[in-house]
Structure 1
């Protein structure tokens, strides 16, 4: 048990022991069982089929069901199916700014930018106070360090609330760049098409005068007007 906990908490933990079950033969066997069960149940997606009564060597090849509480642990860290930003109150952190859904005395929503500026100024002020306390009474600096920690966590939490907006704007920028690149390629193709049409129109308007002396040709049938036209163009 101690060895297992040590592996879970390790920076580079060892792979789980059931990796040895993922052989080519076992994968083929479970795929055949899934296909047979899907055909029997009339299910099109075989990956949705959950098999019961599998032998020991095939049990680990079947993905586990979703956790009922929506949480699971991997290498000592907790993850959730629904990724939500944890609230400050969940971590017993003091909230140093009002709820952004609330309204101020003028009936307006609180401005995030203004709150971030206030928190930044509070951080600088508390840091100066901390340096003064460390010079005069270091034993009283613990409370001030706690205040700075709460300020940093509140500042970071408020920035994290911008993550959905950042992701949306990044997606808009990426799609706009793809659209601009596609339009540029389309315009380049149209320009090449127009250039080719102008060249063909110019070739069609040429009057090719036959400068060949048929008498010098050993065989008149060997004369090719297309070759003669290209020869004149190259000259």
Structure 2
């Protein structure tokens, strides 16, 4: 049989960008040296005003990216996007300043209310509709409607399959409305995510402080047991015991100090 070409299995995930090889310690050190040698210029505080002062501006080195070697250009973070910037999503360019698209703008029927009843509403005429205060009951109602519509679709397919179009359109409209209600939880989700990250950070710092305090207590306990804590320093040296002979006194003192340090090192190894 003729040799068949080997079929290579595609990777389940795309390869990382090639410029990640440039993020090395020598390149970072070289970039820091360049930033240190480059004169700093005040940067605006982001309010769109070119006039800056020392209280509202931050001095950063102004480095021309094109003047850097190719291996250092990717180490500089890009500038923050401006309100007039655009980003690409699924092949479409979307502006950051574009208003949020509503169901009415997309030509989809809205199945849930977005404002209070007319007799209690204080909304000005022409104002944008208010978001739903509590989307949960509307989501439950839409989920039940989706279930009944699906059962109706099954019955239609069993009797006359050619009439499935209306039920499929109804299911699609219900799904669009449910997704729009779910998107109203996004700000709350972002806030809760930040809260969780901050709580984890605080908990990690508290755990680190607790371990440091435990290590300090163990060291103090060892020092108390060895009698080091009650000794006083005089002229940069420890007070020698009364009646200690001059010959061999320094040597015995050094041996005691070495034994104390060895005991403390053993305790610190247990802490770490």
TM range, normalised to the smaller chain? 0.5 to 0.7
- Going from structure 1 to structure 2, the CA distance change for 1:172 and 1:72 (only over 3 Å counts) comes to closer
Q: SS of 2:105's equivalent?
A: helix
Equivalent positions of 1:1-235 (< 5 A) are 76-82=91-97, 85-99=100-114, 101-103=115-117, 111-204=134-227, 220=248, 223-228=251-256
Gaps of 5+ in 1: 1-11, 13-34, 50-62
- Going from structure 1 to structure 2, the CA distance change for 1:167 and 1:75 (only over 3 Å counts) comes to closer
- Going from structure 1 to structure 2, the CA distance change for 1:42 and 1:179 (only over 3 Å counts) comes to closer
- Going from structure 1 to structure 2, the CA distance change for 1:145 and 1:222 (only over 3 Å counts) comes to closer
Deviation of 1:85 after TM superposition, in Å, equals: 3.8
Distance (whole Å) between structure 2 residues aligned to residue 221 and residue 46 of structure 1: 61
- TM normalised by structure 1 equals 0.58
Deviation of 1:67 after TM superposition, in Å, equals: 8.6
Gaps of 5+ in 2: 1-13, 15-37, 43-49, 53-58, 65-78, 122-131, 231-240, 264-272
Distance (whole Å) between structure 1 residues aligned to residue 177 and residue 198 of structure 2: 33
In the alignment, is the contact (CA less than 8 A) between 1:71 and 1:79 conserved in 2?
Answer: yes
Give the aligned length: 172
Distance (whole Å) between structure 1 residues aligned to residue 100 and residue 192 of structure 2: 19
In the alignment, is the contact (CA less than 8 A) between 1:130 and 1:141 conserved in 2?
Answer: yes
Deviation of 1:143 after TM superposition, in Å, equals: 1.1
Superposed CA deviations along residues 32-66 of structure 1, whole A, max 9, x for unmatched, are xxx9xx89x9997787x9xxxxxxxxxxxxx9x96
1:30 maps to which residue? Answer: none
Query: With CA pairs under 8 Å and 6+ residues apart, which has the higher RCO, 1 or 2?
Result: 1
Distance (whole Å) between structure 1 residues aligned to residue 61 and residue 224 of structure 2: 59
Deviation of 1:144 after TM superposition, in Å, equals: 1.1
- TM normalised by structure 2 equals 0.51
Distance (whole Å) between structure 1 residues aligned to residue 144 and residue 119 of structure 2: 23
In the alignment, is the contact (CA less than 8 A) between 1:103 and 1:110 conserved in 2?
Answer: no
Q: Report the RMSD for the aligned CA atoms in angstroms.
A: 4.4
Q: Which protein has the bigger helix share?
A: 1
